[in-house]
């Protein structure tokens, strides 16, 4: 079977133990993203199956119509908002998804970003590398307020870590978050505005859906303390376009730690947040660790093997 993996940014998929599941198939793997739509079509046109790594490629109707050989899109992870399921159905393309959703790796990164940002770790490590020694003063975590926007699986781990470091946890979200907050003994904010006004650290853990796109706007950020930190390891689109950059330049919030961007990958330093000294940026590391990749890619490759045996599994749409 002709299999195309269009965006292996980390250049590691062929080094995963589970890659052996595709032995005997004709696998073509690209590391760099396609330079444009026509290049993407040229890369994908031969494919009978495509390994869709999260949301790196938008499988629009326009694209699906240009892929006459395509039979299966196998997702790495669960359902992706970047797939036109109706177009896939119209053109006889099956879409299969993973079953797992491990919160550990992204939660660990979130905690690491909170600690690194509040204690100026990345800043001071780079200054010391340059030969400097006098250090800046940072912000203690113990006794400060950790605002969790969305107390789901990831947010719950981050909240427990914050509690372990002596932080006071303040939660805001839907009814499910309120119930979990009460069960865990966390305070539930009076409103979204209350969360942003009181928290020293606000960490976003909301799923991106049509109703949550742009759920954080300039008014929310403007309520944050000038010493506060906003952390986003979820999705960039949760924040209204341009709002975080404008807020940081205006001094509210005072700091940000960001792992997700509207357009990825960010190469050549081409993102305005990278020019700000009060922002810690990482290249979508939240899920990028070996155990996570083995879990998600194994499920994806199992879907392809099942399809070749005439028994497709975990179909979407």
pLDDT of residue 221 exceeding 90:
yes
The 10s digit of each residue's pLDDT in 290-307 is 999 999 999 999 999 999
pLDDT value at residue 247: 98
Q: Which domains does the chain have, with CATH numbers?
A: 2-97+289-308 (3.40.50.720), 104-281 (3.40.50.720)
pLDDT value at residue 276: 96
Residue 264 annotated as catalytic = yes
Q: Which of 124, 187, 197, 264 is catalytic?
A: 264
Residue 235 annotated as catalytic = yes
pLDDT of residue 317 exceeding 90:
no
The 10s digit of each residue's pLDDT in 162-187 is 999 999 999 999 999 999 999 999 99
The 10s digit of each residue's pLDDT in 242-270 is 999 999 999 999 999 999 999 999 989 99
* Residue that is written with structure tokens 């940081």 in the block: 248
Its sign, for the CA torsion 296, 299, 301, 307, is: negative
The 10s digit of each residue's pLDDT in 3-53 is 999 999 999 999 999 999 999 999 999 999 999 999 999 999 999 999 999
Who wins on pLDDT, 37 or 135? 37
How far is residue 177's CA from residue 17's CA, in Å, rounded to a whole number?
Answer: 37
How far is residue 248's CA from residue 187's CA, in Å, rounded to a whole number?
Answer: 27
pLDDT value at residue 19: 98
Q: Could you tell me which residues are beta bridge partners of residue 73?
A: 50, 95
How far is residue 52's CA from residue 153's CA, in Å, rounded to a whole number?
Answer: 24
Specify the pTM. 0.92
Mean pLDDT, residues 51-69:
95
Q: Could you tell me which residues are beta bridge partners of residue 147?
A: 170, 202
Q: Which of 43, 205, 235, 252 is catalytic?
A: 235
pLDDT of residue 54 exceeding 90:
no
Residue 207 annotated as catalytic = no
28 three-state secondary structure: strand
The 10s digit of each residue's pLDDT in 66-100 is 999 999 999 998 877 889 999 999 999 999 999 98
Query: What per-residue string of b and e applies to 169-189 under the rule 16 or more CB within 10 Å gives b?
Result: bbbbbeeebbebbeeeebebb
Q: Which of 198, 205, 284, 298 is catalytic?
A: 284
pLDDT value at residue 78: 83
> What is the percent of the chain with per-residue pLDDT over 70, rounded to a whole number?
100
Rg (the chain; Cα; Å)? 21
Q: What angle do CA 34, 37, 38 make, to 5 degrees?
A: 95
């Amino acid at each position: 079977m002709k299999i195309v993996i269009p965006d292996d940014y980390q250049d590691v998929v062929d080094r995963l133990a589970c890659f052996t599941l595709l032995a005997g198939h004709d696998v073509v793997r690209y590391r760099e993203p396609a330079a444009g739509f026509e290049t993407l079509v040229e890369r994908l046109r031969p494919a009978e199956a495509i390994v869709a790594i999260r949301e790196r490629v938008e499988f629009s109707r326009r694209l699906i119509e240009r892929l006459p050989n395509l039979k299966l899109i196998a997702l790495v992870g669960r359902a992706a908002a970047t797939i036109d399921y109706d177009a896939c159905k119209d053109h006889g393309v099956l879409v299969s998804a993973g079953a797992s959703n491990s919160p550990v790796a992204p939660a660990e990164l979130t905690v690491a970003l909170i600690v690194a940002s509040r204690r100026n770790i990345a800043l001071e490590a780079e200054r010391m590398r340059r030969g400097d020694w006098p250090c800046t003063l940072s912000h203690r975590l113990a006794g400060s307020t950790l605002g969790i926007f969305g107390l789901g699986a990831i947010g719950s781990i981050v909240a427990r870590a914050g509690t372990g470091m002596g932080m006071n946890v303040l939660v805001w979200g839907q009814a499910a978050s309120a119930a979990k907050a009460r069960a865990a003994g966390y305070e539930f904010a009076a409103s979204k505005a209350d969360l942003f006004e009181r928290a020293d650290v606000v960490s976003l853990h909301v799923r991106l859906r049509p109703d949550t796109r742009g759920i954080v706007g300039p008014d929310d950020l403007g309520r944050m303390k000038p010493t506060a930190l906003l952390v986003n390891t979820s999705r960039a689109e949760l924040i209204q376009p341009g709002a975080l950059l404008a807020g940081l330049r205006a001094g509210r919030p005072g700091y940000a730690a960001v792992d997700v961007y509207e357009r990825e990958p960010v190469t050549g330093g081409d993102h305005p947040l990278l020019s700000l000294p009060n922002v810690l940026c990482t290249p979508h590391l939240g899920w990028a660790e070996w155990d996570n990749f083995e879990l998600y890619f194994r499920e994806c490759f199992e879907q392809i093997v099942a399809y070749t045996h005439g028994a497709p599994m975990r179909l979407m749409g």
